[in-house]
Amino acid sequence: MDELTAEVVVAGAGPSGLMLANELALAGVDVVVLERLAARTGLSKALNLQPRTAEVLDLRGLLGRAEQRSFTTVPEGHFAMIPVSYAGWDTRHPYQVGIPQAQVEAALEERLAEQGVKVLRGHELTGFAQDAGGVTVTAGDVRVRAAYLVGCDGGRSAVRKALDLPFEGFEGRGHGVSADVLFASTPPGAPTEWRSMRNLVRSAASPGSFVGLIPLAEPNLYRLSYGDRLNRPADLRAKVTDDEVRAKVRESFGDAVEISEIRWASRFSDDSRLAGKYRVDRVFLAGDAAHTHFPAGGQGLNLGVQDAMNLGWKLAAELNGRAPAGLLDTYEAERRPVAEAVLQNVAAQTALIPATPEQRAMRLLFQDLTAIPEVQHRLSGMVSGLNIRYASEEPDPVGTRLPDFPVGDGYVSDLFHKGKFVLLTTAPAGPPHPDVVVARVPALPWPNLTKVLVRPDGYVATATDSTAGWLA
Ligand SMILES: Cc1cc2nc3c(=O)[nH]c(=O)nc-3n(C[C@H](O)[C@H](O)[C@H](O)COP(=O)(O)OP(=O)(O)OC[C@H]3O[C@@H](n4cnc5c(N)ncnc54)[C@H](O)[C@@H]3O)c2cc1C
């Protein structure tokens, strides 16, 4: 048995685990990442970064790296496949970055390696025990003693199960299938580039079902998605056969559409689940380990990356002896309501897949209402993550995201690359501070304020209209 020590063990090298490990490494925390699989599969469930995730990656100088690996940008999101524009938001990234999940993971793992952290692949967490001083984690022939363990090990999380936490929610009645399919030629009516959320879905044969095609990076390569919210197979884990995919393509797009290759296919459920707690003493959950839902709106990966961004700096502050009492508990207090809201909007989106004439009428009415700019803005705020405001007893803008703006030759987001707090002040800046990047700016997004202290994850921690006081 190999014995290792670390400050934090991250179980799972999906997007959530890799983002978290990057955040910890950036803060100088000694982190070990355990991954069950011997090699990355290269398969991608998710296909997008939402605007808030783009902003979050930009705060760490990671967005460019992701965009290099992307194949498109889409200037809108969708709610139940009804397009919702991101144009009304004060963001430099009012679009979805079209990027396969495997490429997000590759970009994050590349940065992690540059920070000197290697993922221990082929190391499945099989158990752990915690005591007052730390956690001992077992993964095959390795045992790691650490101060904290974070389960980023996906929807079937071994960490969550070992903690015996309730995974609350509801069991859906349906299922969906995703498959990457190469066609011999462009299916009739299918877009050749993914630039909009329009015309991606067509009515399916039976009530409550859907089928759609999203064009991917190669000519005639599409993400085929189909499903039925009223019916599910007896075994949701049963392999999706090529025959099933071919039959669905024939039924939906006609006999003439020829498939050259089915690269992969997998089935997913429309269950909706949220962990009862995100923390038990020294063990935390993040990403799909804490919440799973039907992939409507393209939100799951984005939620997990932002969980990681929220937890990373807090764990680092605790380990570096700079955290105020209770900081670690704010992770659950802030992130669980965000996941709860996503689960709600996903359930609403699922209900908008019509199964009856009445539901069809409701969908048409809903679609009509989305023409109202305020409605569109509310919906796009939900799916983009741009509407997140962490609860605070202090008035606005405390708890809201700092919109990016130009400063000097660059942008204010550049000041966050080291993962520190950032103090923006329109008054004289005062002396440098070891834990805070201090910058004088000509103006703030809130003209009545003179100083805002912004957390490493880009949310306002505190604000004042005084020219004296902290860090003056
Ligand atoms: C069909 C489909 C389409 C989707 N499309 C989108 C989309 O467009 N946009 C979006 O935002 N989201 C989408 N999602 C959701 C998204 O894929 C997930 O939310 C995302 O993968 C969650 O990342 P994660 O890192 O939390 O978990 P995972 O990606 O599941 O990663 C968990 C990692 O932990 C490893 N692991 C598991 N158990 C152990 C263990 N015991 N020890 C060590 N390692 C372990 C796994 O091998 C894996 O590498 C989609 C999901 C599906 C099913």
Q: 393-432: per-residue pLDDT in tens?
A: 999 999 999 999 999 999 999 999 999 999 999 988 778 8
- Please classify residue 324 by burial: count the beta carbons closer than 10 Å to its beta carbon, then call 0-12 exposed, 13-18 middle and 19+ buried: exposed
Does ligand 1 lie within 6 Å of residue 413's CB atom? no
Does ligand 1 lie within 6 Å of residue 150's CB atom? no
Tell me: do 87 and 201 sit in the same domain: no
384 located within any domain = no
Which of 240, 269, 298 is where one domain is finished? 269
Which of 214, 245, 269 is where one domain is finished? 269
Pocket test for ligand 1, best of 108, 153, 178, 201 (most atoms within 8 A of CB): 153
Whether residue 293 has pLDDT greater than 90 = yes
Task: Give the pLDDT confidence of 10-32 residue by residue, as tens digits.
Answer: 999 999 999 999 999 999 999 99
Whether residue 309 has pLDDT greater than 80 = yes
Which of 269, 287, 316 is where one domain is finished? 269
pLDDT band, very low/low/confident/very high, at 96 (cuts 50, 70, 90): very high
Query: Domain containing 87 — which CATH number?
Result: 3.50.50.60
Q: How far is the CA of 104 from the centre of ligand 1 (A)?
A: 12
Mean pLDDT of 114-142: 97
Nearest residue to 172 via CA among 245, 310, 270, 79: 270
CA distance 376 to 366: 11
Mean pLDDT of 99-121: 98
Peptide bond before residue 397 is cis, with ω within 30 degrees of 0: yes
Kindly give the number of the ligand 1 atom that is closest to the alpha carbon of 225: 1
Does ligand 1 lie within 6 Å of residue 13's CB atom? yes
Tell me: do 207 and 283 sit in the same domain: no
Query: What residue numbers bound the domain in which 448 lies?
Result: 406-464
Mean pLDDT of 282-289: 98
For the four alpha carbons of 411, 413, 417 and 419, in that order, the dihedral sign comes to positive
Task: Give the pLDDT confidence of 176-201 residue by residue, as tens digits.
Answer: 999 999 999 999 989 999 999 998 98
Residue nearest to atom 5 of ligand 1 (CA): 46
Q: How far is the CA of 159 from the centre of ligand 1 (A)?
A: 15
Tell me: do 204 and 258 sit in the same domain: yes
Average pLDDT along the chain = 95
Query: Domain containing 414 — which CATH number?
Result: 3.40.30.120
Kindly give the number of the ligand 1 atom that is closest to the alpha carbon of 158: 41
More confident: 251 or 471: 251
Residue nearest to atom 27 of ligand 1 (CA): 154
Q: In the prediction, which pLDDT does 470 show? A: 63
Kindly give the number of the ligand 1 atom that is closest to the alpha carbon of 307: 26
